[in-house]
Chains A and B, each alone.
Chain A
Amino acid sequence: MLLEVRNLTVCYDRAMVINDLSMGVETGELVSLVGPNGAGKSTLLRAITGLVAREKEITSRSTSGDITIEGTVTFDGERIDKMPAYDIVKRGLIHCPERRRPFKEMTVIDNLMAGAYLLHKKDEIADNRDKVYQLFPVLQSRSGQISGTLSGGEQQMLAIGRALMSNPKLLCIDEPSTGLAPMLRAEVFERIAEVRNLGITVLLVEQEVSTVFKMASRNYVLSSGKIIAEGAGDQLLQDEVIRKTYLGL
């Protein structure tokens, strides 16, 4: 197992967002996490990559709220649940956050360089940049542009490109298609498939079930912080209850 989550529970104040959840991703897979709004998909990713722990640390120093995290997360044979987020990145577990969140006031190339922050060799950075440009030619033609002025689709490509700069082993992408026109969605998904073909394991959170089920090797259906079903896409689609209740199809 490249990533293994065991009995993870996350509570914000008294609300249990992730409820005793266990899941895993094998090397080379493209695993999807689907489920209705508020199921805890983003929180699960944020807990895996250390952002919930960071939030917990911040809230513990102020008066607002209280967060509890229990359970273990193992990545590449190493416990990461007690590690700060910036250390987890060093292990090759990269999180491409919800709403893309490029550094809006910075240029495209500066965003990519920020993605390569942990790399020190100039050649390696240049190689990675060329790889990202090959995957997303639009980023090359806009390299000097302030990223806040890019379109939504371009910002998503930038966010994925930025994540690729640091040689990820596992790339977690949170809702890449949200807010994009259908054409652009298709393109983003195509690119994600290409990322996987580069040999990068992908954990994809998405609402767009129909496309994702075709791409993914395995899927988890999440609801109220629990995994209620797991399996290949067509297998899950055959189950009437899952289809109607959780996927809204």
Chain B
Amino acid sequence: MDFNLTKSQKEIKKAAWEFAKGEFDKDLIIELSKKQEFPKKILKKAGELGFIGIHFPEAYDGGGMGLFENLIVGETFCTRDSTLGTALMLSGYGAECIFLFGDEPLKEKFLPPVIEGRVISTGAFLEPGLGYEIRKIHTTAVKNNGQWIISGKKTFVPFGETAGYYVVLCETDTNADPKADGMSMILVEAGTKGLSAKDMGDKLGGRMIPFADVAFEEVRVPESNLIGKPGKGYSQAQKFFDRNRIQIAGLALGTAQGAFDRALDYVKQREQFGKKLAQFQVTRHKIADMATKIAAARFTAYHAAWQFDNGEASSRQAAMAKMIATNSAMAVSDEAIQLLGGYGYMTEYEVEHFYRDAKQAEIFQGTPSALRDVIADEIIGKLK
């Protein structure tokens, strides 16, 4: 059992930090966040340097590494800036499904543009009024003359207006019993006739990832755009959610670390009542609590990523990682604001957006309550 990062993992972390330090400009981040705009140029550079899709196979320009390395990149980026780091890393949201379930031609065509940072990919799973109960979706895809004809409405689609392509969960067999066995994942490229997206407005956090309502009105795509197996869309989505939750755990971990680092710097230099804040016992204990929460989150998230890379994946582990990491990010960024006092509430001191981003991470892809359901279901199972 070795808890240390390998040499190559350490190098990745260092390179990601150097990149983020050089490219993540505070003023630009604040400006883009205000406008809810995506940092396209920075994504391109991150792609060129190999930070996007580091866990995708080398055959498609990926780094050929694991989920663990991808987590480290996300953690490091978010330590530098939670909003920008999250946006860059989630640009591969849809590509992940293609990587996991897609056939060769799909991978060849759709992975490299994302890996190179030229295209944002997304997934359209949720539907109005259903929450994460994607078992009940209404969007249908009907096969007709070598095409899928997709009709339905999706909501809370990340990058809904700017994505280059969408991975859409559709009902392809309305007679399936259970209903979940009649679902499939289908790829739809932006600009396809019948596809329209409407921005959902201002967000609390993750402001470089605007959400959109996306409508499909008899959208026709080639039959070959089926991702994975017909009828397996639901279980594929669950597998994707598990992996995505681990990724979000990494982003939240970085968010916690970034807020912590800023607070630590501040309390070491800020003086009140004739001494440094860091010389007050309660401040010291707050710092200790924050560091402890981060350590617990880091261990759980790293362990979960490692398990997924070593074929011991469980939904429970992913849910636990997301829950503890986002919860730590909330607690730590909250305390960071408190330690910075009035400055903590001001935009230019950054920790306030770490706090907002932490809350988005806590809710997105499964609220704590939804995650508890996942964990309990796996531990307890079905009782008669």
A and B part of one assembly: no
